[in-house]
């Protein structure tokens, strides 16, 4: 909304106020973004200053030759006539230097509504992933049934085995079956790996405006999830919930990237360009997918250091994933989460080794 001070002929000003109703806020001259000076004749200009300290549009009620001859002596930002439409009046206001920010506000609100609508209509997770989201570590029997279902899906099975046999898991011998993987890593780990693979498809698009690739962004999410699971265990939190928060913390980018017009460095850039952030969009997506509220809140706050221990774990997990060589960060985490430095270094060494193999 634009703050406008209406000057000059009161009756004509009232007409303009009515025309701009809903798109402008009448205000005092000290609080105004712009002035609209309404005149009926040259006499209406007699008491007006030659130069205005804010952008000023002259609104002429009727064509007065005397008026036209003297307005060149004033620093008006534009001249309008009584026949102008509301649409053209707003366009004229927005072309005035300094009014772009107001234009952006209106445009961003429209863009934001489109982004939110797309987030609301995001495709559901695969059925297996939906079932896994409902399970906890105590649902061991149900987990085993899901594992049996995974074994029958050749596509998921092959992706699970490919990830397990990657340098990341650093297993001494190649794993050739889901049963073998479950015995070595446990059904819960298999569950989390399947969840990771389930969202991988959403990252198969161009993320160059985030200065990364879909695979790198997905890998970062997976890494953050594993770190969050580790930190969660050390902090006596639900490790599955911590894993899921790490896995989903950047999921908002899969929608937001479709609306970016130039490169962004952080969520502040996102906000300027789209009116929203990947954290906010993630909360919409995760609500759609039926994810726990605590996880959604952690994802919303993962760029802010919170007093909430669960949110703090996700915050630091994301930091570690981005800055694995920052010793100062590790010292801070040791104090904040009360974790032994040796425990922390052990998982960091695992990540570093996996990146170099």
Note the pLDDT tens digit of each residue in 221-232. Answer: 999 999 999 999
What is the pLDDT, as a whole number, of residue 44?
78
Please write the tens of the pLDDT for every residue from 189-245. Answer: 888 888 998 899 999 999 999 999 999 999 999 999 999 999 999 999 999 999 999
**Whole-structure pTM value:** 0.68
Q: Give the mean pLDDT of 98-103.
A: 50
Q: How confident is the model at residue 357 (pLDDT cuts 50, 70, 90)?
A: very low
Mean pLDDT of 21-43: 78
Q: Which of 288, 312, 285, 290 has the alpha carbon at shortest distance from 301? A: 312
Write the pLDDT tens digit of every residue in 124-178: 988 888 888 887 667 777 878 888 888 877 888 888 888 888 777 767 788 888 8
CA 229 – CA 225 distance, rounded (Å): 6
pLDDT at residue 308, rounded to an integer: 95
| Alpha carbon distances (Å) from 82 to 12, 15, 275 | 9, 9, 35
* Domains along the sequence of the chain with CATH: 2-98 (3.40.50.2300), 119-356 (1.10.3210.10)
Compute the C-alpha angle 112/115/118, nearest 5°: 150
């Amino acid at each position: 909304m634009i703050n406008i001070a209406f000057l000059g002929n009161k009756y004509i000003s009232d007409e303009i106020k009515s025309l701009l109703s809903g798109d402008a806020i009448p205000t005092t001259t000290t609080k105004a973004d712009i002035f609209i000076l309404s005149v009926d004749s040259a006499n209406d200009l007699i008491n007006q200053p030659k130069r205005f300290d804010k952008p000023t549009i002259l609104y002429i009620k009727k064509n007065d030759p005397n008026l036209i001859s003297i307005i060149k002596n004033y620093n008006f930002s534009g001249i309008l006539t009584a026949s102008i439409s509301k649409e053209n009046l707003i366009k004229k206001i927005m072309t005035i230097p300094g009014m772009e920010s107001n234009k952006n506000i209106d445009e961003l609100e429209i863009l934001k509504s489109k982004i939110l609508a797309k987030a609301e209509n995001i495709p559901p997770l695969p059925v297996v992933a939906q079932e896994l989201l409902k399970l906890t570590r105590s649902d061991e029997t149900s987990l085993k049934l899901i594992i049996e279902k995974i074994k029958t899906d050749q596509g998921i099975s092959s992706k699970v085995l490919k990830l397990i046999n990657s340098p990341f898991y650093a297993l001494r011998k190649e794993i050739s079956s889901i049963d073998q993987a479950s015995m070595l890593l446990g059904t819960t780990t298999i569950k989390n790996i399947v969840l990771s693979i389930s969202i991988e498809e959403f990252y198969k698009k161009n993320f160059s405006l985030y200065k990364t690739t879909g695979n790198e962004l997905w890998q970062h999410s997976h890494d953050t999830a594993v770190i969050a699971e580790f930190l969660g265990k050390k902090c006596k939190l639900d490790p599955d919930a911590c894993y899921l928060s790490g896995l989903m913390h950047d999921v908002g980018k899969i929608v937001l990237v479709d609306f970016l017009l130039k490169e962004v460095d952080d969520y502040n850039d996102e906000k300027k360009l789209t009116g929203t952030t990947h954290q906010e969009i993630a909360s919409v997506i995760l609500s759609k997918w039926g994810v726990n509220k605590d996880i959604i809140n952690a994802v919303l706050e993962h760029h802010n250091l919170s007093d909430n221990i669960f949110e703090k774990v996700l915050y630091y997990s994301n930091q570690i994933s981005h800055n694995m060589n920052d010793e100062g960060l590790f010292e801070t985490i040791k104090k904040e989460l009360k974790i032994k430095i040796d425990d922390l270094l052990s998982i960091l060494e695992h990540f570093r080794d996996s990146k170099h193999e």
